[in-house]
Structure 1
Amino acid sequence: CSWYNLYASLSEPVLLEHLDAAARFRDETQAPFDIFLVDDGFTPEMGDWLHSKATFMNGISGVMNEAKGRNFTPGLWIAPFMVGNRSELYRQHPDWVVKSRATGEPLAPMTFYGEFRWHKRSEEYYVLDITHPEAAAYIRSVFRTWAREWGCGYFKTDFMHLGSTYGPDEAVWHEDGLSRIEIWMRMARLIREEIGDALWLCCGAPIWAPVGLVDAMRIGRDIGVTWKGHYSAESLLRDQTARNFASGVLWQADPDCILLRDRFHDLSEDQVHSLAMFAGLAGGVLMTSDQLDEVPEPRRRLLAELAGDGRPHQCEFPLLGQTALRYRLGTAPTGAAMAVSEGDPLLVQRVRRADGSVVLNVFNTGDEPTERLIGWELAGARGAVTEDGVAVESDDGGVLVRLRAHQSRVFVIS
């Protein structure tokens, strides 16, 4: 996935550089990585999905062909409900967006009036009216073209909540009398009809509505490059823990990209390692944005180890719901006040292997060192304990684990 390293600075040469590095990593390590996903940044405006920026001499389909030539499944990012006010789509079809019932003007759930313009010209982002037959035909043609002509085999659809944000009390849709989820499902069913058996990762979406249609579900916010904040590790630790129960049952959970590079972020060595272990052991989608030639060798080995045989697996969070929560006053991304919950900073993950052994990740998410006795019941098994292949002392009570702030330690019990 290109986003967390390149963001919107996309061009054909730089993507091919990342593609070559990914192919070398896969071939050298035999890690089962098979998707090359181009995230946001290749289209000129939201809504103009059949056009590419001038930095793509052969269009984005050229990169897709190169990915296929290196035995990757090529993937693309799209926000099908989004229409920028500077897009050709809106200029030609202003009647294809949802209008405010109060004012008759286009509803704009996202606006950028100041210095930051999100790498596009648009100041406002509107909602495509999927109930309008011509708008539906257009977005259908986009997915058909991407799948059948450009060879896209992996679709990441983002900002999907925009299709379920406005009900009939606020919005005027072309077709009246539909609930928000009925409207949303129009788009979801259309997408699956056009992409066929291609893989579909759904992001920023209602959690339950796409069950049976999507292959994977993003379960939290962008992880970002810091430990705390709205786009940070905090969201991963909260959302992955609370929503991973559905992974492998309703869809594969996507915890977002693992950050592996050794610069251009604000995370410590312990934090990078802990977050990678936490996301990788969760058992769902595993991806990174880093140029893999630039990743330090120990972290390359870690990524290959986490990939395993490439098959999803179940991950248990045995402490979930077992500790009391405290609440403090915090702020939402908009600056509004919100309640923030806090609990025991210790997280435990259990992965049961086919041979009967248990992989146990003990993760101190807190800002202070801690010492905990992990009893056999919490560990999920009783037997010989090793860490990185070295025997670890245990007794009838379990295993005493000492952890630095933000450190995780992984044990195997067999």
Structure 2
Amino acid sequence: MGILVGKLTYKKGGKESSVSLAKSFESKDLSITASQAPYCGGTRFTAVLTPKSELEITACTVFTDEGLSKESKLFLNGYQTWTDSKEVTLEYSVPKLNFLAKPLIGMYGDYGFFRHSRSKLHSYTYTYIKNSGDAVTLYGSLSEKFGYTLFEYDKVKSCLTVLKDCSGLCPKVGEPYVLFDLYIINAEESAAFDGYFSAQNVEKPKVKPCTGWTSWYNYYTKVTQNDVLENLESFSSRELPIDYFQIDDGFQQAVGDWLSINNKFPRGMGYLADEIHSAGYKAGLWLAPIICEKTSQIYRDHPDWVLCKAGFNPGWSGVFYALDFYNPEVRAYLREVFDTVLNKWNFDMVKLDFLYAACLKPPKDKTRGQVMCEFFEFLRDISGDKIILGCGAPLGCAFGLFDYCRISSDVALMWEDKALSALNYRERVSTVNALTSTIGRFNLNGRAFLNDPDVFILRNSNNKLTDDQKYTLFMINSVLGGLVFTSDNINEYSERQMELFKTLFKRESVEVKSITAADTVTVRYNEGEKELCLLSNLSVKKAFATVPFNSLTQSENRFLAKDELIELRPCQTVCLRSSDSQ
């Protein structure tokens, strides 16, 4: 377990050269400072480059002595919020995006800058390996400020290498550039993640777990002022103790024109924030601060602000564009927007979306990771002490900066979007895709930020989810999430749906003990003195799960013995309570 050797390859004057990162080194072109030492219960490896003359980095790699077997479980953290993230084995292949879809949606992931290979697997910022027993070996980057760190598994050679996303970078002469700052620990899973975030000096989030309502997953861009007020009244009249009431996309004239409110909101956004506060809730507003669509005033009046194409959204005017974060006028505009939203309209939280777009076209002297980290620090600065919910974000850059962060794709109004799945689109809107990442990234909750697993849906109208699928989504989100929202109009709830919804407010502090994902998912957790377990089948076929302890089913109070095998319907979840706990 550890680093064997590293290598930096660079060009100078058209000639390519390589230097070892095994130890400190100095030449007329550059100096390398490298070290490996015990740190925070694990090992820390650092390699710092200081150029003495102009050069261009072509590759930067570290080789580990990590041995892998066919039984090894490897965690792959996807590029950004929406990218699927899960434990796999060496038999797994990362799906390649259909070439016909790439011009429209390739910008959402790493399809445009990382070369995908069927013989390799890759993970961003951190990864871990599970062999036998309860211990994991975790490899993590302690900072992405100098570039994204990728952990690449070679399926043929059964080995792990570490890459820095810095090819083509021309670092500034005389300025130190951190090639790698890596942390390695072998420990029980929870202890390994505690060590990892302690090594980063990331403080635990100051915010508390919260519940709320958002307009998006019922009203989408058609949301109106009356929709917001109707739903607000439905919560306040019942005195339901949610924390946030958030207005999503659909209030603005065009994406990018955040201070121009459309005629569906005749009394403006400050009025709605006041109404939300009067009802006893905190007010949230959605923004996509670093993009604009072609129909926006921003795009027409400021073509020099536009950096590149950032994606395609059929719910807007089609193609949309990234703004140049390093343009002083763009920064000034964003400061004005945030000051208006947070201080004049008096919203308490901003949900910041499509953040990946900031680094689609980095300057020659910066990497994608540098741009993203600097952009997130800027967002933190202009938000002051107000709350940030991040989305569409490379997660490693958000550690310790965002209060809440989405850690999954958007849920869909159905279980799976078969058309998008067939395209091998890892960031697709899909309920099962969202649940997969919610399970895979649960270790970030309460360490990097509080996790947003996206909404649950209990209502009958405007969705195609079965009752089993709704219950599975509700239970996994409410147990593993730090921010648990819905978009349901609760006036439509049946008595049974309302009863289930209200369990959110009766739940004691949740402590997740372990998650095992195989044919079915087993989530063991405590609520106060109660020992509980979720057995979930995410498949559309029936499956069998093993009962982990002598239990009573929550719904029927039926006794199940330890190691008993039970059948789960497609997409069904069963909640068990230990028969020995209160």
TM-score tier (shorter): 0.7 to 0.9
Shift in alpha-carbon separation, 1:54–1:391, aligned structure 2, 3 A: closer
**Partner residue of 1:12?**
225
Identical aligned residues as a percent: 28
- Using the alignment, how far apart are the partners of 1:227 and 1:209 within structure 2? 30
Alpha-carbon contact 2:389-2:404 (below 8 Å) kept: yes
Output aligned runs, 1:358-369, within 5 Å. 358-369=531-542
2:572 paired with 1:407: yes
Shift in alpha-carbon separation, 1:390–1:290, aligned structure 2, 3 A: closer
Letter in structure 2 aligned against 1:177: D
- Using the alignment, how far apart are the partners of 2:557 and 2:224 within structure 1? 49
- Using the alignment, how far apart are the partners of 1:276 and 1:9 within structure 2? 25
TM-score (norm 1): 0.81
- Using the alignment, how far apart are the partners of 1:93 and 1:310 within structure 2? 51
Output aligned runs, 1:243-262, within 5 Å. 243-262=441-460
**Partner residue of 1:297?**
495
Q: Residues 241-287 of structure 1, C-alpha deviation per residue, up to 9 Å, x if partnerless?
A: 11111111111111111101112211111111121111111142111
**Partner residue of 1:150?**
345
2:580 paired with 1:392: no
Structure 1, gaps ≥5 residues long: 99-106, 169-175, 324-343, 377-382
Note the aligned Cα RMSD (angstroms): 2.0
The one of 337, 344, 347 aligned to 2:521 = 347
Letter in structure 2 aligned against 1:22: F
**Partner residue of 1:183?**
371
Question: Aligned to 1:209, what secondary structure does the other structure show?
Answer: helix
Q: Which runs of 4+ in 1 moved over 6 A?
A: none
**Partner residue of 1:62?**
271
Letter in structure 2 aligned against 1:140: R
Shift in alpha-carbon separation, 1:20–1:391, aligned structure 2, 3 A: closer
Question: Aligned to 1:221, what secondary structure does the other structure show?
Answer: coil
Letter in structure 2 aligned against 1:308: K
How far residue 306 of structure 1 moved from its aligned partner, in angstroms, is 2.6
Output aligned runs, 1:138-177, within 5 Å. 138-168=333-363, 177=365
Letter in structure 1 aligned against 2:378: L
**Partner residue of 1:228?**
416
Alpha-carbon contact 1:370-1:405 (below 8 Å) kept: yes
- Using the alignment, how far apart are the partners of 1:209 and 1:41 within structure 2? 28
2:326 paired with 1:131: yes
Q: Residues 31-64 of structure 1, C-alpha deviation per residue, up to 9 Å, x if partnerless?
A: x311000000100111111111011111122111
Shift in alpha-carbon separation, 1:109–1:315, aligned structure 2, 3 A: same
- Using the alignment, how far apart are the partners of 1:185 and 1:318 within structure 2? 31
- Using the alignment, how far apart are the partners of 1:111 and 1:231 within structure 2? 14
Question: Aligned to 2:545, what secondary structure does the other structure show?
Answer: strand
Alpha-carbon contact 2:552-2:560 (below 8 Å) kept: no
Give 1 or 2 for the bigger CA radius of gyration: 2
Letter in structure 2 aligned against 1:403: L
- Using the alignment, how far apart are the partners of 1:283 and 1:111 within structure 2? 29
Alpha-carbon contact 1:130-1:186 (below 8 Å) kept: no
Q: Residues 266-319 of structure 1, C-alpha deviation per residue, up to 9 Å, x if partnerless?
A: 1111111121111111142111001111122212221221343586x3434431
Moved more, 366-375 or 241-250: 366-375
- Using the alignment, how far apart are the partners of 2:348 and 2:236 within structure 1? 17
- Using the alignment, how far apart are the partners of 1:317 and 1:361 within structure 2? 11
Q: Residues 80-107 of structure 1, C-alpha deviation per residue, up to 9 Å, x if partnerless?
A: 1101222111222111121xxxxxxxx2
**Partner residue of 2:309?**
108
Number of residue pairs matched by the alignment: 356
Shift in alpha-carbon separation, 1:123–1:286, aligned structure 2, 3 A: closer
